[in-house]
Structure 1
Amino acid sequence: MRTTSGIVFVFISAIVAGLTSCEKDFDIKVNSHQPKLVVEAYINNELPLYNYVILGRSQDYYAPDFTNVPVTGASVAITEGRLISGQYEWDASSRKELKEAALTQLSNAYIPGVYFDTTLRGTPGMHYLLEIEVEGKMYSATTELLQPLSIDSITSGYYFIDEEDDPEYMARLTVHFKDPDTIGNTQLYYWRTRQTGENFGWGALGTNRYSPRTDELVNGQYMHITHSNGFDIGDTVSYHLVNVERKVYNFWDSYLKASESASPFSTPVNLQSTISGENVIGCFSGFSVNTKSVVVK
């Protein structure tokens, strides 16, 4: 993947339960003079265990491998607050310190560089401040949890035969919902199926993160989003409709474009990071989640 700078780092986005470490590697080029701190952070309203922060350090292009070095021993905190008359008012009593830990929900696996507080849960309508201290340097980001969107229904159809392995009859899913009558919100789409099993982390779920549209064009309209992915007939899908603010969408959209820019002749892409600080890249993603389960028919 190619951006305007010159070195490869890996953006971690999947952790598998029961394993000491498991990653989905995405190579993004960054400045060659100094490694960057790579931040992947989430706050959501439904899944406390899926509120976590991953910290890594990008590696030099000529290193033996391109995986991030986990950043351990950092100070990581998330604080809730409100935006009033253009000014943030943070509630110090809500501050949660996230720690590296072996979690029973992950078969007591300890994963270095991954920070949790299982009591942390986001509230729609609130804003959140992420603060990180690593080796005396400070990093921060803010994100908002928008109101969750109601899923009217999820239907299956557009059947096809998957002939890659054993020929198998499959369906595509369509989610039906009403876009909110406000400008600036966008949606991401995640799901858990039999194939994802007990895999853990947002990056381990099935996803169509991006829709080729803008909120200005569909604002307030009734939406019917059909995913190109195939789903096994009879499988139960736990589907997450995720409402996000535009800057979160912009980061993941730029990330997708970077991931598609593998050709040396492709147009460079800048990741639209939301993290403030020196030599840092990443995103603090406020995920306002609504979940619905459906049996594929």
Structure 2
Amino acid sequence: MKKIVIYLYILAITASISACEKVIDIKVANDSGKLVIEGAVTDQAGQTIKLSRNVAFTSTNTYPAVTGATVSVTDQNGKVYAFTEGAAGTYTNAALTGASGQTYQMNVNTGNQTYTATSTMPLKVALDSITSADSDFGGKGKKKITVHFHDPVATADQYNFLLFVNGKQVTRVFTVDDRFTNGNDINFDLRTGNDDNDQAIYAGDNVTVQMQCIDHAVFTYWFSLQQQGTGSGPGGSVSPSNPPTNITPAVFGYFSAQTVQSKTIVVK
């Protein structure tokens, strides 16, 4: 099977990605106090939905929690899973384990307003391995991480990746679809930036990659953040810009039914 190597150059992200997806016009907001919802149902036990409020683009990334909300997820059979608030703004359910092919609806009620979103969990595509090599983009001794997997030919697939270096999440967004690589063996490079928010990778570092198989609406959300070069990975802070959301009425954030899997290596 033909192998495809995908090079992701963050500083030239618009040029490199626009060949795969139309350019999305992103309006950058400098206001504050808007609701942010970060929700996911995975194929692992235990689910989390986080509620917060955004801050101005010029402010520090401290996002006030939204407490006292009523949060639930309903599966396609009509079973409702209530989420309980633990830490401020963090709502969890330990009983729900998602499954590929199933559709889930999130319901959030806060401030006398109900917000809903639906997402269908794709089939899981196996993460074969992750490797490290000398980076051809960056300083001396810097390494890049490459994820290796086989994209199935029968479906349109979208992927999102989280990168952790020595236990700390890199804030770059790494997302890709199979529009031009359907059915191929994929080698996808994850390169960290040179700014203060990202971590360079060197020999001896402990690196973990989480691979998420996501639906198209959620891919569009992450792609738009990747396109503008923001540092907002899932599980981290949401950018104060307004990428396309699958939540109604529209707020910042997303709701994703996704498969997850991880691999860890020591960089050589």
TM-score normalised over the length of structure 2: 0.72
Alignment correspondent of 1:271: 243
CA contact (8 A) 1:258 1:270 kept: no
Alignment correspondent of 2:124: 148
Alignment correspondent of 2:82: 97
1:140 and 1:176 mapped to 2: Cα distance?
A: 35
2:218 and 2:56 mapped to 1: Cα distance?
A: 27
What is the identity percentage for the equivalent residue pairs of Structure 1 and Structure 2? 24
The correspondence for 1:53, drawn from 49, 52, 59, is 49
Q: 1:160 Cα deviation (Å)?
A: 7.4
Q: 3-state DSSP class of the match of 1:292?
A: strand
CA contact (8 A) 2:242 2:252 kept: no
The correspondence for 1:8, drawn from 28, 31, 35, is 31
Q: Higher strand share goes to which structure?
A: 1
Q: 1:290 Cα deviation (Å)?
A: 2.1
Q: 3-state DSSP class of the match of 2:180?
A: helix
Alignment correspondent of 1:133: 109
Alignment correspondent of 2:38: 40
Specify whether residues 182 and 276 from structure 1 end up closer, same or farther in structure 2 by C-alpha distance, changes over 3 A only.
Answer: farther
Q: 1:3 Cα deviation (Å)?
A: 4.4
Q: 1:58 Cα deviation (Å)?
A: 4.2
CA contact (8 A) 2:145 2:190 kept: yes
Where structure 2 has 5 or more consecutive residues not aligned to the other structure, the ranges are 1-24, 193-199, 231-240
2:206 pairs with 1:210: no
Alignment correspondent of 2:252: 281
Matches for 1:69-88 after TM superposition, within 5 Å: 69-81=64-76
The correspondence for 2:210, drawn from 206, 218, 240, is 240
Alignment correspondent of 1:252: 222
- Output the amino acid matched with 1:114: T
Deviations 1:190-232 (A, max 9, x none): 1333151xxxxxxx45654224xx5221111110112223433
CA contact (8 A) 1:149 1:241 kept: no
Q: 3-state DSSP class of the match of 1:249?
A: helix
2:206 and 2:216 mapped to 1: Cα distance?
A: 31
Say how many residue pairs are matched. 227
Alignment correspondent of 1:265: none
Where structure 1 has 5 or more consecutive residues not aligned to the other structure, the ranges are 10-34, 82-89, 102-109, 197-203, 261-268
The structure whose Rg is larger is 1
Q: 3-state DSSP class of the match of 1:139?
A: strand
Matches for 1:177-216 after TM superposition, within 5 Å: 177-196=149-168, 204=169, 208-211=173-176, 214-216=177-179
1:178 and 1:138 mapped to 2: Cα distance?
A: 40
CA contact (8 A) 2:29 2:56 kept: no
1:182 and 1:248 mapped to 2: Cα distance?
A: 20
1:191 and 1:47 mapped to 2: Cα distance?
A: 21
CA contact (8 A) 1:185 1:243 kept: yes
Specify whether residues 96 and 295 from structure 1 end up closer, same or farther in structure 2 by C-alpha distance, changes over 3 A only.
Answer: same
Cα RMSD over matched residues?
3.1
Q: 1:162 Cα deviation (Å)?
A: 7.4
CA contact (8 A) 1:184 1:215 kept: yes
TM-score normalised over the length of structure 1: 0.65
